[in-house]
Structures are given as structure tokens and as C-alpha cells.
Amino acid sequence: MLWRGSRSASAERLDSTTQQWTPQLLGRFAHLVAGALSGLLYGLSLPKADLGGLAWISLFPVLIFAVREQRPSSGAATRALASGLVFGIIACTFRVYWIVETLGLYGGLNQSAAVATTALLILYLALYPMLFVGSLHLTRPGYGFAWLAAAAWALLDWVQTWMLSGFPWAVLGTTQYQQPQILHFAALAGVHGLSFLIVAVNAGLAQLLFAQRGKQRLAGAIAVLLPATLILSWSAFHQRALEAERTGDPIRIGIVQGNIHQDVKWNPQRAQSTTRKYVDLTRGLAHSSGPLDLILWPETALPFHFDDDSHAIYRDAVRELAMEIDTPLLVGSLGTSSVEGHPGLFNRSFLIGRDGGLQAYGDKVHLVPFGEYLPLPWLFNYMQELTAQSGRFDPGKQHAVIPLRDRGPNMGLFICYESIFPSITRELARRGAGFLVNTTNDAWFGVTAAPYQHFAMVVLRAVETGR
């Protein structure tokens, strides 16, 4: 009995101590919990999870902390930066975790190097959310808090499009790619405009619920309601405008996907079987679908130098196919051209006309760092093996705008990774592209969320340009 009594007393003292310290521990780590929760919500809003609605509350936890920390206090700046860093690490892990598999399984790097390289990229990308939350600490409670937060986020999104050659992969606005009524706004303000509104709503909710003054809460309510009103109004207007603009004959385009496994694709002994598979699939499509204006093959569908005479037998088979089915073919392959007196290698798509002749071609201009070229080789020398595996390409001079037929619209061509850059498709539209074509090979991504994220970004490029 005495033993039981002493155990009970000890338990009571432990409970008392726990109750005393728990609030302090929660208070000490609340900013980190808020950052982690925001990172998780952001990640789940991305493709492939596709819980896009979570984006509208994804920043709410970290912004609650920002609203409450806007008053000067000891250590507030450090807590703000730590919260933003945790948020960024988790969110950016969802964005680019798949790079480990791409570098390791398909790029030839050992697992440790692949993980280390991906971790460095995550840490770099996490700096942007960290700066975002840290910048909010510099403000003071005010009526414009939500709009300042939205502007800061949009600015940092834009910086990602060009800093260190740019990597705006799966930015916040991309989460809305399955929401047609919301997507219309991207035609007005682009993906960064969508991000702006999403952050404004998140910050407005935080201000509405946690600001100390009534007028600040009113400002938060306005920041929540105004984006919704703007999106619905613009969506209705833009939908009517699109319907009124529909003129001319439709373009009928066929797509052929050979589904050649990445492990065997670049085996020279597979060139013949790969070419035959694409020829057979294309012939079957042409015979079953009726007249087509264009048939598309993926990026590097033919894994050899298409314009090299050593592969003339395969090139001739493709040209004969175009004449047989009386349909132009856009064929992804490798191309060579002279670069400053030296042979250059290009990621290229060739347009083969109905007569079997080479009508035009387009090169990839914005290459994939570490995959198609090695930046800062003095720093990343250990990745030489990766670029040797995937190719050391030269950038094209200009994105191609190609006439499809005598009186039809021009085709704007951009290849794979270039789809993450809004400026490229806007440039193509300005130069007269009536429709856009993105050829890609997402087999490098394996069975991950990356192909879904990539597709979402192409959807945004189409909406932004109206193409």
C-alpha cells in the first residue's frame, strides 16, 4: 500500500510538472509547428495529391504566427526566419523530392550524391519562404498587411524565374490548374497573379481571426472577399470573351506515345525497333482517326542524330511515313549544327512536311541545369558523370514559331523543361504563335509526382497565353 501511495504521489508530481512546462514548450516551438503545418498543406495542394483547395489555407498557420509576432519582442526575428525555413523545407521537399530518383536511377549518380544534391536544391528553394516570413516581421500591424504579404510572395515567385538561371517549379498558383473558374484569372495576371490572390486570402484570414483591432479585422475580411469577387467577375467576363473569339477552322492534331523505357531508350541497338514502333503507331493512328493537320512525337522520341547521314535509313523511314499518310510529323530527336566553328549538339524537334521534306525545326533554348549542361563545373565536378549520361547540349538561339499550313495558325514550339517559364510562352504568343506545342519526355521522372506537376504547369502556360 505504501508503495502504491508513493507511485501515486510521484505520478501527481509528474503531471503537475508536465502541465507547468507544456504551455512553455508549445510556446517555444509554436512557430516551428506553424511552419511545418503550412509546408504540409502546401505539399498536399500540389499535383499529384491534387488537394488544390488546401492552397487557400496553406499559409494560414505560418501567417497566424506572423500576425501575432508583428509587435517587437525578443527573438521575434529569429523565430520568424526559423518558421519560414521549416515551412520552406517541407513545402519544397514536396516540390522536388523526385529529383533523387531522376539523378540516381536515370542519371547515373550514386544514391548519396543524388540525395545531397537534392537536399542542396531544397535548402536553396526554402530560402524564399524563409525570406517571405522574415519580411513580414519587418512590417507593423496595419490595414494593408494581407496585400503586402501577397506582394512579397509574388515578388519572390518572380525572382525564382531568373535567379541562378531560374527554377519556378510548382509555384503556389500551379495548385489551381484543375479549377477552371479560378484559372481564368491566370489569363489576366499569370500564375504569379494567382499566387498573389492565394496569399492575400491566407493573410486576410489570419488578420481577420487574430488581429487585435476591429479595423484590422475588417481589412482582413476585405482581403478574403475581394479576391473571390475579382475571380468570379473576371471568370464570367473572360469566358464570354473566349466564346466570342472562336473563329476559323479547328486544327486536328494526333499524338503518338511510344512508351520506350528510359533504361533501354538510349541503347544504339534499339534505334531500329524504336523507329519501327513509332512508325507503326503513327500509321495506325492516321488510318483510324481520319485526316489530321499534324502528328506529334515526344521529345527525343528517336534517340539518335536525326540529321546525321549515319542514321539515314531511319530518317528515310520517317520521311516516307509522312508522305504515305499525307500528314506533317513533328519528331523529337537530336540535332547537330556548327557552333562557333565546332559541332554542336541540340535537343531538337523536326517538322517533316507532307512531301517528306524537312520543313522546319526548333531547338531547346533553356536547358536543364545538371541534366543537359553542367553549370559551375568547378563546384559541381562530381556531377560530370550525370551530364555524360544525359547529354551535354548547346542552347538554341531562339524558340521556333513555325507555320503549320499555308493559311493556318503558326505553331509555337517549346520543349519539356521550358514549360515552367511563363516568359517563354508569352514570347511565342507575341511573335505570332496561334497555338503552342510542348514536346516532352517525362520518363526521367519515374513513378513520382513530377509528371503531374509538369503537366499542371503546361496548363498554366496555355491559359496565360490563351493558346
Known catalytic residues are: 299, 364, 416
Nearest to 124 by CA among 160, 154, 97: 160
Q: What region, left, alpha or beta, does residue 302 occupy, with left being phi > 0 and alpha being psi -120 to 50 degrees?
A: beta
CA distance 200 to 220: 9
SS3 content of the chain, % helix, strand, coil (to 5): 60, 10, 25
For residue 196, the number of C-alpha atoms closer than 13 Å in the C-beta half-sphere is: 19
Query: What stretches of 290-398 adopt beta strand conformation (E)?
Result: 294-296, 329-339, 342-352, 358-363
Q: In what order do the strands lie in the sheet with 329-339?
A: 253-255, 294-296, 329-339, 342-352, 358-363
CB 358 within 8 A of CB 369: no
Q: In what order do the strands lie in the sheet with 401-403?
A: 401-403, 410-415, 433-439
Instruction: Look up residue 29 and give its amino acid.
Output: F
* Alpha helices by DSSP H, 46-144: 55-58, 60-68, 76-96, 99-101, 111-137
Q: Is the peptide bond before 364 cis (omega within 30 degrees of 0)?
A: no
CB 199 within 8 A of CB 148: no
Buried b (16+ CB within 10 A) or exposed e, 208-225: bebbeeeebbebbbbbbe
**Residue where the block lists cell 524563409:** 130
Residues in the chain: 467
Tell me, what DSSP letter sits at residue 234?
Answer: H
CB 327 within 8 A of CB 286: yes
CB 321 within 8 A of CB 279: yes
CA distance 191 to 381: 35
**Residue where the block lists cell 517563354:** 424
CA distance 130 to 85: 5
